[in-house]
Amino acid sequence: MKKPNALFLIIICAAFVTVALTTGCGESMDQMGDEPDFTADFLSGEYAAQLIKDGALVIFGVITAITEDEDGVITVEISEREYVEAQNHPDGYFIADKNLDSIHYLSSEASATFIPGGLTIPRAMKVDEFISVSHEDRLYDVYIMGEQIELLIARYLP
């Protein structure tokens, strides 16, 4: 019987290595942890911190209007507020109106958290869902990069 050629063995080994390296264990890249989970905790923690590191302006306030023009450009009007600690107030704080209103473009890739009525735990949502819910009397930290809102974090105050 003839001994296998060394070149033939190298080709077979290379084929096995290629198959082994290109075949995963059934997980997609999203399942392998390259993408963080889209959760309220991630958005209000790691993502918000990264936006601040990148130079985002953060405004605390109430959304007074969300409008969309004929070109699909969405703007958000924010009435700025300030959290003020007050020993003599029953809650130990109050929310002051800064009498400053501003209008900002909403990025089509923006993310948000929202606290549904009667609950205290926020849930994560994308722009389309966020603009469809009521924002009346709800407080947000609004993260603005350049001219656009990138993140809106609902604030629960007991």
Please write down the HEC assignment for all residues of 73-125: CEEEEEEEEEEEECCCCCCCEEEEEEEEEEEEEEEEEEEEEECCCCCCCCEEE
- Position 7 scores a pLDDT of 57
Q: Does 10 score more than 80 pLDDT?
A: no
Percent of the chain with pLDDT over 90: 60
Q: Does 37 score more than 90 pLDDT?
A: no
* Fold entry, domain 37-155: OB fold (Dihydrolipoamide Acetyltransferase, E2P) (2.40.50)
Angle at 30 between CA 26 and CA 113, to 5 degrees: 145
List the beta bridge partners of residue 38: none
- pLDDT band for position 23 (cuts 50, 70, 90): low
Distance (Å, rounded) from C-alpha 68 to C-alpha 71? 8
